[in-house]
């Protein structure tokens, strides 16, 4: 952290010659978080088929669980095609899935739902972990609870001079768009809208939690952003998550993702969280809901902000991504888990009166095609360019 501070303070006011040596020096001292590689399992293996029906299921990457110590997970369950960790508290009330990222998560959540004895139909699923923050809506070290999950994955791309003149971004929807403002042809997994009434409740509960401050280095950095939200102390934001296997950074990418998110949800979603996890998780859970293995109305996304998705004015996107890096990962994760613990207390404390029966969605919930029923309130008639392979 000390050397990070040195480099950052230098970056804030340095000319480029001096910059190189600062940057070079810092490469070797950047903190890397390595998942535990202990070979002896800390869990007792459950006999295959042992029933468990948790009230809470956390989904995150292995290292992110390193910041959670409020519960003791003692019992591990395994099944076919399942090679991650699914472990529960002794009473089986709270479980965690350490599942890897995006596509890997999707396969592992699917395998989890098929483990004999594991019943997730009443589980409140909390997807968590870290992501980058759009400085317009949140701040590093803060947390967000989301209503929308958007996939920035299913597309076409042209680079450099190959880009048609009337498009400012490199990203196109999968099927030919005439112009960036036309609603694209979709495949179905582009957007999931969660239970907004559950988001309301969790947001109210989480807003009561007191957050830890970020390092002085990050405080100095955030003061240089032009957006009010970015300059704030860590807080719980209410805005949406966008994920892709590619972790994008910078103003151009950030603006493009915002544009796409706005277009694909007809202005309903506000993009604030960039990550490589969430849509794979939502996709698998959604399919589980279609097949009645889980209740999609009990799924939530509560995530930490480890860094900014774009630089402040005095840095380039490259400097921001690779040399400021994910400097708020640790306080962010601790703040996210604090929020989640408050939510868990609310769920367990009000299980009989509120949560067992479930909280009814107050707006449309589901995918872009209306697969779970109801009328999708954010889609539009799709159009592909006339004469294109997919157009009419």
Ligand X SMILES: *[C@@H]1O[C@H](CO)[C@@H](O)[C@H](O)[C@H]1NC(C)=O
Q: Are 264 and 191 in contact (CB under 8 A)?
A: yes
Nearer to ligand X, 193 or 281 (CB): 193
Cα separations in angstroms, 153 against 37, 109, 204, 224, 324: 30, 19, 32, 31, 26
Nearer to ligand X, 18 or 70 (CB): 70
**Stretches 105-113, 304-312, 348-356, 379-387: which one binds ligand X (CB under 6 A)?**
379-387
What is the SS3 assignment for 11? helix
- 208 is an interface residue for ligand X by CB under 6 A: yes
- 178 is an interface residue for ligand X by CB under 6 A: yes
d(CA 172, CA 192): 20
Nearer to ligand X, 40 or 179 (CB): 179
**Stretches 26-34, 178-186, 191-199, 299-307: which one binds ligand X (CB under 6 A)?**
178-186
How big is the site for ligand X, counted in residues (CB under 6 A)? 19
d(CA 137, CA 216): 21
Least distance from ligand X to the Cβ atom of residue 355, Å = 14
Question: What radius of gyration, in Å, describes the C-alpha atoms of the chain?
Answer: 21
Nearer to ligand X, 71 or 247 (CB): 71
The two beta strands, 299-308 and 124-127, are parallel
d(CA 29, CA 32): 9
d(CA 335, CA 145): 12
- 166 is an interface residue for ligand X by CB under 6 A: yes
List the one residue from 27, 45, 204, 354 that touches ligand X (CB under 6 A). Answer: 204
Give the footprint of ligand X on residues 69-88 (CB under 6 A). Answer: 70-72
Nearer to ligand X, 187 or 223 (CB): 187
- 375 is an interface residue for ligand X by CB under 6 A: yes
C-alpha angle 237/121/127, rounded to 5°? 25
Nearer to ligand X, 108 or 265 (CB): 265
Q: Are 154 and 86 in contact (CB under 8 A)?
A: no
Least distance from ligand X to the Cβ atom of residue 159, Å = 15
- 49 is an interface residue for ligand X by CB under 6 A: no
d(CA 382, CA 372): 20
Give the footprint of ligand X on residues 52-71 (CB under 6 A). Answer: 70-71
- 164 is an interface residue for ligand X by CB under 6 A: yes
- 186 is an interface residue for ligand X by CB under 6 A: yes
Give the footprint of ligand X on residues 232-291 (CB under 6 A). Answer: none
> What are 148's strand-pairing partners?
193
Nearer to ligand X, 11 or 287 (CB): 287
Which residues, including other chains, have CB under 8 Å from residue 75's CB and lie 6 or more apart?
A: 43, 44, 45, 46, 52, 87, 88, 89, 90, 92
Least distance from ligand X to the Cβ atom of residue 7, Å = 38
Q: Which helix (H) or strand (E) holds 171?
A: strand 171-173
- 376 is an interface residue for ligand X by CB under 6 A: yes
- 169 is an interface residue for ligand X by CB under 6 A: no
- 126 is an interface residue for ligand X by CB under 6 A: no
Would you give the DSSP letter of residue 47?
A: P
- 368 is an interface residue for ligand X by CB under 6 A: yes
Binding footprint of ligand X on the chain (CB under 6 A): 70-72, 164, 166, 178-179, 186, 204-205, 208, 368-370, 375-376, 379, 381-382
């Amino acid at each position: 952290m000390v050397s990070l501070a040195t480099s950052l303070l230098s970056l804030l006011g340095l000319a480029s010659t001096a910059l190189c040596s600062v940057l070079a020096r810092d490469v070797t001292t950047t903190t890397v978080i390595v998942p535990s590689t202990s070979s002896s399992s800390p869990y007792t293996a459950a006999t295959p088929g042992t029933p468990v029906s948790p009230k809470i299921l956390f989904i995150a990457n292995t290292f992110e669980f390193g910041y959670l110590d409020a519960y003791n997970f003692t019992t591990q369950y395994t099944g076919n095609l399942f090679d991650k960790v699914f472990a529960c508290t002794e009473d089986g009330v709270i479980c965690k899935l350490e599942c890897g990222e995006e596509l890997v998560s999707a396969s592992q959540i699917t395998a989890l739902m098929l483990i004999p004895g594991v019943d997730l139909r009443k589980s409140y699923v909390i997807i968590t972990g870290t992501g980058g923050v759009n400085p317009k809506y949140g701040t590093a070290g803060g947390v967000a609870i989301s209503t929308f999950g958007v996939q920035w994955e299913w597309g076409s791309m042209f680079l450099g001079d190959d880009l048609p003149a009337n498009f400012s971004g490199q990203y196109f929807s999968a099927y030919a768009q005439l112009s960036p403002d036309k609603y694209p042809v979709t495949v179905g997994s582009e957007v999931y809208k969660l239970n907004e009434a559950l988001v309301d409740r969790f947001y109210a509960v989480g807003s009561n939690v007191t957050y830890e401050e970020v390092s002085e280095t990050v405080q100095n950095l955030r003061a240089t952003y032009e957006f009010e939200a970015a300059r704030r102390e860590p807080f719980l934001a209410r805005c949406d998550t966008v994920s892709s296997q590619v972790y994008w950074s910078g103003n151009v990418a950030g603006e493009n993702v915002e544009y796409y998110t706005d277009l694909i949800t007809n202005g309903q979603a506000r993009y604030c969280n960039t990550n490589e996890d969430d849509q794979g998780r939502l996709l698998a859970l959604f399919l589980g809901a279609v097949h009645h293995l889980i209740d999609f109305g009990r799924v939530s996304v509560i995530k930490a902000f480890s860094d900014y998705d774009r630089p402040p004015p005095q840095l380039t996107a490259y400097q921001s991504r690779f040399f400021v890096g994910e400097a708020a990962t640790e306080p962010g994760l601790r703040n996210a888990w604090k929020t989640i613990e408050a939510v868990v207390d609310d769920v367990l404390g009000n299980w009989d009166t509120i949560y067992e029966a479930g909280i009814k969605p107050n707006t449309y919930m589901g995918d872009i095609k209306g697969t779970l029923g109801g009328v999708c309130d954010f889609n539009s008639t799709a159009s592909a360019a006339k004469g294109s392979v997919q157009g009419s």
